[in-house]
Amino acid sequence: MSRTTDPGGAPRGARGPSRRIVLRTAFTAAVAGGTAVILLPLRDHEPGTASAPAKGPGHPAAGTEEFAEMYRGREIRGSVTVLVPAGGPGAAEGGAAEPVTEIRIDGRPLHVMRRADGTYLSDVTHYESFPTLRETARAAVDELGTARLALPASHHR
């Protein structure tokens, strides 16, 4: 028996694709499908809408969160704005989008930090984190009670 035929007498290439080829094809299809799913939101936007021109060193991207409300007699305002370098993603060295968070309680700024898991914590509720900026602001108001936030050191002159 020759090496180019299998025990049934058919040539080796005639029995179908090998396991390696099937797995490679499945992996390639999965990578292509995953890439398409990730890039789809970039393509899905209203036709005829143009993006606003960049202002200054960066411009706000679509991923923003804003709120303004009265909570327990206190005015709270908050925003998360994602700044993208003006020239696009590769404009600056390490040109990643930079989120900027801000909360104001009765017009006074509350320092807020974003944790690695995506939650927020503030100077007032430093040992507790919250999933949204609004919940962080409300928790700070709850903790402050009737006290007011101190102004930053630069305002005390």
Between 9 and 125, where is the model more confident? 125
pLDDT in tens, 117-150: 888 888 888 889 899 889 999 999 999 888 888 8
Q: Choose between 105 and 2: higher pLDDT.
A: 105
Q: What is the pLDDT of residue 70?
A: 92
Task: Transcribe 4-70 into DSSP letters.
Answer: TB-TTS-BGGGG---HHHHHHHHHHHHHHHHHHHHHHHHH-S-TTPPPPPP-TTEEE-S--EEEEEE
Q: Residue 127 has what pLDDT?
A: 87
- What tens digit of pLDDT does each residue of 11-70 get? 555 677 888 888 888 888 888 887 877 777 666 554 444 444 444 444 444 456 788 999
How far, in Å, CA of 77 to CA of 110, rounded? 10
